[in-house]
Amino acid sequence: MIGMDMTGKVTLVTGAGGGIGGGIADVFAAAGALVYVADMELDDARARAAQITARGLTARAVRLDVTQKDEINALMDQIVKENGKIDHLINCAGIVYSKPYLESSDDEFRKTLEVNLIGVDNCCRAALGHMISRKEGKIVNILSASSRMGSDFYTHYSASKFGALGLTQGIGLAAARYNINVNGICPGIIDTRIGEKQGGTLSQQMAKYSGKPEEQMKENIRRAIPLRRFQSGEDIGYMALFLCSELAKNITCQAINVCGGMRMN
Ligand SMILES: NC(=O)c1ccc[n+]([C@@H]2O[C@H](COP(=O)([O-])OP(=O)(O)OC[C@H]3O[C@@H](n4cnc5c(N)ncnc54)[C@H](O)[C@@H]3O)[C@@H](O)[C@H]2O)c1
């Protein structure tokens, strides 16, 4: 029987109060895992965990800022204390300042790197500390189509996501000898609230700078996707589930596009 049953597995998803992380948490919980729904915004994490547990599945909401190593180490220790292990780490927390490069600031660049790049490293290091002793574990980093193609609208975001791809490959090599797989997923475009706290969501900012209505921008984006539909958080969750399953035991150091055909690299 071929399957992706995660019963008995323990999964930590960062940024799980958001759109994609929430979808990933849903999918792992539906597959039987105990999911730690971690986010800097505890209310959002709680709301997602409550939705999951209302379906009779298992989830725990936890506050986590991925830029704070003390918090990360304390959470990993707590998870191991409660369950004896951590099987999967899904790094999904992220931010974006969507604006033309020439209008962006050093401070925005630093903040972007702090969350999207250093935050991923912080969480990988802390999880590896526990996974290596068991010689077992899976890490999935949520990258982006912008991990492989520069942009003058998301320049700093793209730089952070290029970096996270480099981390995925390098950490994957370092972890391989301990039977730990490290992979990335490159989503295309998903209509979430990303960017809201940094000035506006993707479609709001595109609308602002293009002078076109937001709905028209969304439609233009949709038409640029060969499959003519946006992906969902669950779509990314299904790929993460596969990468964490035994079916993917020989896949590591890879970045897989889930983008409706928008990218082919
Ligand atoms: N939405 C897209 O089109 C898209 C495309 C490609 C990649 N991604 C990536 O997917 C991931 C999730 O994005 P999303 O679209 O779901 O956005 P989102 O804003 O809905 O979710 C991101 C979550 O990360 C949390 N977060 C931000 N900073 C944090 C920190 N320091 N510590 C912990 N949590 C923090 C936010 O509170 C939020 O809940 C990001 O890494 C993003 O770069 C998104």
| Per-residue model confidence (pLDDT) at position 226 | 97
Q: Considering the domain boundaries, does residue 208 fall inside one? A: no
Q: Determine contact, residues 199/98, Cβ cutoff 8 Å.
A: yes
| Per-residue model confidence (pLDDT) at position 191 | 87
Atom of ligand 1 nearest to the CA of 190: 3
Atom of ligand 1 nearest to the CA of 67: 31
15: Cβ below 6 Å to ligand 1? yes
Classify 167 in phi/psi space as left (phi over 0), alpha (psi -120 to 50) or beta: alpha
Average pLDDT score over residue span 77-93: 98
Q: Considering the domain boundaries, does residue 102 fall inside one? A: yes
Average pLDDT score over residue span 24-31: 98
Å from CA of 177 to ligand 1 middle: 30
Mean pLDDT, the chain, as a whole number?
97
Catalytic hit among 101, 154, 157, 209: 157
The number of folded domains in the chain is: 1
Which residues make beta-bridge pairs with 187? Answer: 258
Domain that holds residue 77: 10-195+232-258
190: Cβ below 6 Å to ligand 1? yes
Q: Considering the domain boundaries, does residue 2 fall inside one? A: no
Å from CA of 1 to ligand 1 middle: 35
Residue 95 maps to which CATH number?
Answer: 3.40.50.720
193: Cβ below 6 Å to ligand 1? yes
pLDDT score of 62 more than 70 = yes
pLDDT score of 84 more than 80 = yes
Q: Considering the domain boundaries, does residue 51 fall inside one? A: yes
pLDDT digits (tens, 9 = 90+) for 173-197: 999 999 999 999 999 999 899 999 9
pLDDT digits (tens, 9 = 90+) for 204-222: 999 999 999 999 999 999 9
| Per-residue model confidence (pLDDT) at position 90 | 99
| Per-residue model confidence (pLDDT) at position 3 | 75
pLDDT digits (tens, 9 = 90+) for 86-143: 999 999 999 999 999 999 999 999 999 999 999 999 999 999 999 999 999 999 999 9
Average pLDDT score over residue span 194-204: 93
71: Cβ below 6 Å to ligand 1? no
40: Cβ below 6 Å to ligand 1? yes
pLDDT score of 2 more than 80 = no
pLDDT band of 1, cuts 50, 70, 90: low
Q: Considering the domain boundaries, does residue 85 fall inside one? A: yes
CA distances, 104 to each of 97, 100, 155, 196, 204 (Å): 8, 7, 9, 16, 17
Å from CA of 194 to ligand 1 middle: 6
pLDDT score of 260 more than 90 = yes
Tokens of 211: 């002078």
Q: Considering the domain boundaries, does residue 243 fall inside one? A: yes
Q: Considering the domain boundaries, does residue 48 fall inside one? A: yes
Q: Considering the domain boundaries, does residue 224 fall inside one? A: no
Ranking 43-52, 107-116, 200-209, 238-247 by mean pLDDT, the lowest is 200-209
Å from CA of 2 to ligand 1 middle: 32
Look-up of token digits 């589930």: 241
Å from CA of 244 to ligand 1 middle: 20
Average pLDDT score over residue span 239-253: 98
- Say whether 97 is catalytic: no
Q: Which of 39, 194, 222 to mutate to test the pocket of ligand 1 (most atoms within 8 A of CB)?
A: 194
